[in-house]
Amino acid sequence: MSAEKIKCLIIGSGPAGYTAAIYAARAEMKPVMYQGMQPGGQLTTTNEVENFPGYPDGVTGPEMMIQLEAQAKRFETDVRFGFITKVDFTGPIHKCWTEDGHEIHAETVIISTGAAAKYLGLPSEQHYLSIGGGVSACAVCDGFFYRGQETVIVGAGDSACEEAHYLSKLCKKVTMLVRTDKFRASKIMADRVRNTPNIEILHSTETVEVLGDGNGVTGVKVKNNVSGEEKEIPATGFFVAIGHKPNTDIFKDYINLDETGYIKYEKPGTSLTNVPGVFVAGDAADKNYRQAITAAGTGCMAALDAERYLASLEH
C-alpha cells in the first residue's frame, strides 16, 4: 500500500484541533484530522461551558464540540475517526501511521492531542464524573456552579492551591485534602491557602469514597492515613487537582518535551516546535491556562504558522 500524501495533518480534536482545521481548510491546505481516543477532547466531559465567548446562555461541552466539528467540515476538513499511533519526523516529509497501519506523508503536522486530567480512579468518583454530577478537574471551568456551596478539593501542588483559592471566592467552604503532612506547592501558594479563612486543610488525608444520591455529589468520605480515622465531609462538588498528563508519548523521540511531557515551543509566541513543519496547539503544550478559548487561539496560530511554512517552501 502506498502512503497517502497530504499538505496538513491535524492530530487530535478539541477546540485547538478544530480551530486549526477551520483556518487550515479556509487557506486551501485541505487538512486531514484524526480525532484521537476522545473525539472532542476534554470538553466532552464538561456539562456546562459558560465562559466561552459567543454563548450568552452557555453551551454543553459535547454540543460545542459538535458545532466546531460541523464548522470544520463545512470548509471540507477531512475529519476521520481513529488515531495516530506512530510518527517519524526525521525527514522533510513527516511520516505518520494510524492504528490500522495506514501510512500518511504530511508536509505539515499540527499536534493538538491535549492533556488528560489525572483522577484518583475511585469507582464513585468516575460515576459522578461520567454523569456530570459534581466531580471536576477544573475549578476555573466549573467553580461557578458551586457558588455559596461547600466543596472538597484534592491536591498538594501549586495548581491545587490556586484552584482552592479560586473556589474560596465562590464557595461557602472549601476543604482541601493533602495526602502527606506537607504541601508540594511553593511557600507563597501554600501560605495563601493557609491564610484564607474559608479553606480548611486536612493533611495526611485520603479520599475513600465520593458520596452521592445517584444524581449528584453530597459528600466525601475521607481517612486520616496516620490515625486511620474515617469521617464524612458534606460537599456538593469534588475537585481533583493532582495534575495532567499531556498526550505526547508518541512524539518523544522527535519533539522537545519538558520534564513532565509538555511540548516545548521552539520560539515563544508561536506554535513552532523544534521540527520544521510540525506545530503544536492547545493543552499538549499549555500547562498554565488549559482553557477552551486559549486552546482555540493556539489552534489559529498553528494553522497560520503552517500556512506560512508551506508558502516558504514554494519560494
| Catalytic machinery residues | 138, 141-142
Q: How many residues does the chain have?
A: 315
Q: Distance between CA 279 and CA 109 in Å, rounded?
A: 6
Q: Are 223 and 243 contacting, i.e. CB atoms less than 8 angstroms apart?
A: no
Q: Distance between CA 156 and CA 105 in Å, rounded?
A: 44
Q: Residue 11 pairs with which residues in a beta bridge?
A: 34, 111
Which residue in the block uniquely carries the three cell numbers 511531557? 261
Q: Are 82 and 99 contacting, i.e. CB atoms less than 8 angstroms apart?
A: yes
Q: Distance between CA 203 and CA 209 in Å, rounded?
A: 17
Instruction: Work out the burial of residue 19: count CB atoms within 10 Å of its CB; fewer than 13 is exposed, 13-18 middle, 19 or more buried.
Output: buried
User: Where do runs of H (alpha helix) occur along 1-118?
Assistant: 14-26, 61-74
Q: List C-alpha distances in Å: 96 to 22, 142, 271, 277, 279.
A: 22, 36, 20, 13, 14
Q: Distance between CA 82 and CA 285 in Å, rounded?
A: 22
Residue 89, C-beta contacts closer than 8 angstroms, at least 6 positions apart: 95, 109, 251, 254, 255, 275, 278
Which residue in the block uniquely carries the three cell numbers 492533556? 115
Q: Distance between CA 128 and CA 106 in Å, rounded?
A: 41
Count of C-beta atoms within a 10 Å radius of residue 38: 18
